[in-house]
């Protein structure tokens, strides 16, 4: 569950903002990004108190700032993948890339092969 | 089917019905094999199931299933990646040739799977790290890719001796010479891929098995980590091969 990461990203995005109508747009952008972040982690966070608090909190804050659910987020647009090697999200955990996750321990893992064909 | 194990053992097995190829902490692969011709114990693969197990922040559990004439470019839930987690795209199904060739890239476990349909049957090839292949518990069952087929499931075939003018098997449209010539078109080296090809043609008369052997070797070329071990000349438990002349 990565809810703490979502929390800290939201806090960091809103740290310089003051509650007021002139900065509501910035709050909305940050809240939509926060909401997007929680949705991504929803499955892993099922039953996590911090997660459910965050989801309710976001709803309240969006109402408070009159934010629409659709609109820009602070998350920079991800570039389209150009090859298979680039298809893992830039913010995907390093452990989702076997070779990268191993680099510290074993730079060159041994691979094996199995095949089945014919009759 | 002909099986090349993780340790480069080469076997021809009966294994009729459903058999697990791989069963470890990350991956489960099972094939179902059916008889190819009446009166022969030779079988070929008509169904393949692959289960990628739920893995940390990368992928949800995903099931891939292929059957003869149904080689989908998606998991059974219709998705083509690992779900909704941050690292979901570390698991992808890629269609290379519609209905004939798909690849599954599981980057989070350094694994590539190739599934093809050639004629009426499926072929399977996988490349994975030894660490992943060896990550199983004692209570995880049989894995053909790991230790090969049980002894009583192995077919210790030998190529039939030449019989001038006659076909080698009742169901075969090929003489041995014709089968040899056909297989040599695609497989110039007299290794076990070549010999399996000849055996399959003589057993079934189905020329698609030539392509199965050819692409199985192409997959080995692409997936095997040791380019010096691509060809295999001696079968495992090969007690009495009729054609025991050196491979080359």
Residue B37 has pLDDT above 50, yes or no: yes
Distance CA(B236)–CA(B233), nearest Å, equals 10
CA distances from B27 to A45, A111, B23, B51, B124 (A): 24, 15, 6, 6, 14
For chain A, what is the mean pLDDT?
Answer: 73
Whether residue A96 lies within 8 A of chain B, CB to CB, comes out as yes
- Angle CA B216–B220–B221, to nearest 5: 120
Whether residue A90 lies within 8 A of chain B, CB to CB, comes out as no
Prediction ipTM score: 0.90
Residue of A nearest to B202 (CA): A119
Distance CA(A22)–CA(A14), nearest Å, equals 14
Whether residue A91 lies within 8 A of chain B, CB to CB, comes out as yes
Please answer yes or no on whether B58 and A118 come within 8 Å at the CB atom.
Answer: no
State the average pLDDT over residues B59-81: 98
Confidence of residue A38 (pLDDT cuts 50, 70, 90): confident
- Segment A23-33, tens digit of pLDDT: 677 778 888 88
Distance CA(B92)–CA(B81), nearest Å, equals 5
Give residue B13's Cα distance to chain centre: 11
Burial degree of B112 (CB within 10 A; 0-12, 13-18, 19+): buried
Are residues A10 and A31 in contact, defined by beta-carbon separation less than 8 angstroms?
yes
Are residues B189 and B198 in contact, defined by beta-carbon separation less than 8 angstroms?
no
Q: Which of residues 5-34 of A touch B (CB under 8 A)?
A: none
Residue of A nearest to B144 (CA): A114
Query: A2 to chain B nearest CA, in Å?
Result: 9
Q: Which of A93, A113, A114 shows the shortest C-beta gap to B57?
A: A93
Distance CA(B2)–CA(B192), nearest Å, equals 9
Best CA proximity match to B19, nearest among B44, B38, B39, B40 = B44
Residue A20 has pLDDT above 80, yes or no: no
CB contacts of B142 in chain A (<8 Å) are none
Query: B12 to chain A nearest CA, in Å?
Result: 8
- Segment A44-100, tens digit of pLDDT: 787 888 888 888 888 888 888 878 776 667 543 333 333 333 344 445 667 899 988
pLDDT value for A15? 72
Distance CA(B45)–CA(B157), nearest Å, equals 19
Q: The tokens of B67 are what? A: 């059957």
* Residue B228 CA neighbour count, 13 Å, CB half: 0
Distance CA(B243)–CA(A80), nearest Å, equals 55
With DSSP H G I counted as helix, E B as strand and the rest as coil, what are the percentages for chain B, rounded to 5?
Answer: 25, 30, 45
DSSP E strands, chain B: 2-4, 10-12, 17-23, 27-35, 43-52, 62-67, 91-97, 101-106, 111-118, 121-129
Q: Give the residues across from B129 on adjacent strands.
A: A111
pLDDT value for B141? 82
- Pairing relation of β-strands B43-52 and B62-67? antiparallel
Residue B236 has pLDDT above 80, yes or no: no
pLDDT value for A8? 78
Contacts of B89 (CB under 8 A, 6+ apart): A81, A87, A88, A89, A92, B81, B82
- Segment B96-154, tens digit of pLDDT: 999 999 999 999 999 999 999 999 999 999 999 999 999 998 877 899 999 999 999 99
CA distances from A82 to A79, A91, B29, B105 (A): 9, 17, 30, 16
The DSSP-derived string for B2-62 is EEE-TT--EEEB---EEEEEEESSSEEEEEEEEESSTT---EEEEEEEEEEPPBTTTB--E
Whether residue A49 lies within 8 A of chain B, CB to CB, comes out as no
Secondary structure (3-state) at B71: coil
Q: What are phi and psi of A67, to 5 degrees?
A: -85, 140
Buried b (16+ CB within 10 A) or exposed e, B53-89: eebebbbbebebebebeebbbebeeeebbbbebbbbb
Whether residue A76 lies within 8 A of chain B, CB to CB, comes out as no
Residue of A nearest to B223 (CA): A113
Query: A95 to chain B nearest CA, in Å?
Result: 7
Are residues B19 and B143 in contact, defined by beta-carbon separation less than 8 angstroms?
no
Query: A115 to chain B nearest CA, in Å?
Result: 4
């Amino acid at each position: 569950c990565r809810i703490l990461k979502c929390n800290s990203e939201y806090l960091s995005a809103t740290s310089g903002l003051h509650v007021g109508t002139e900065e509501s747009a910035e709050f909305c952008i940050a809240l939509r990004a926060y909401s997007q972040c929680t949705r991504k982690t929803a499955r892993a966070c099922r039953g996590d108190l911090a997660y459910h608090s965050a989801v309710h909190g976001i709803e309240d804050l969006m109402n408070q700032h009159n934010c629409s659910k659709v609109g820009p987020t602070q998350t920079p647009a991800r570039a389209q993948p150009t090859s298979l090697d680039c298809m893992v999200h830039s913010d995907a955990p390093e452990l989702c890339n076997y070779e990268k996750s191993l680099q510290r321990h074993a730079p060159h893992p041994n691979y094996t092969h199995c095949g089945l064909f014919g009759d | 089917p002909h099986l090349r194990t993780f340790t480069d053992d080469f076997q021809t097995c009966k294994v009729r019905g459903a058999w697990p190829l791989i069963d470890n902490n990350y991956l489960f692969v099972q094939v179902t094999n059916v008889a190819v011709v009446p009166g022969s114990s030779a079988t070929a693969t008509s169904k393949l199931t692959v289960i990628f197990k739920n893995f940390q922040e990368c992928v949800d559990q995903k099931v891939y299933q292929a059957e003869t004439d149904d080689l989908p470019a998606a998991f059974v839930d219709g998705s083509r990646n690992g779900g909704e987690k941050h690292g979901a795209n570390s698991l992808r199904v890629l269609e290379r040739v519609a209905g004939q060739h798909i690849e599954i890239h599981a980057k989070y476990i350094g694994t590539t799977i190739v599934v093809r349909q050639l004629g009426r049957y499926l072929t399977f090839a996988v490349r994975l790290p030894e660490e992943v292949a060896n990550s199983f518990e004692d209570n995880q069952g049989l894995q053909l890719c790991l230790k090969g087929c049980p002894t009583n499931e192995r077919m210790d075939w030998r190529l039939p001796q030449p019989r001038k003018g006659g076909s080698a098997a009742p169901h075969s449209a090929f003489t041995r010479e014709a089968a040899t010539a056909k297989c040599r078109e695609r497989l110039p080296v007299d290794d076990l891929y070549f010999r399996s090809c000849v055996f399959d043609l003589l057993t079934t008369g189905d020329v698609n098995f030539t392509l199965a052997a050819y692409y199985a070797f192409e997959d080995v070329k692409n997936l095997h980590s040791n380019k010096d071990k691509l060809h295999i000349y001696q079968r495992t438990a090969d007690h009495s091969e009729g054609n025991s002349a050196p491979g080359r």
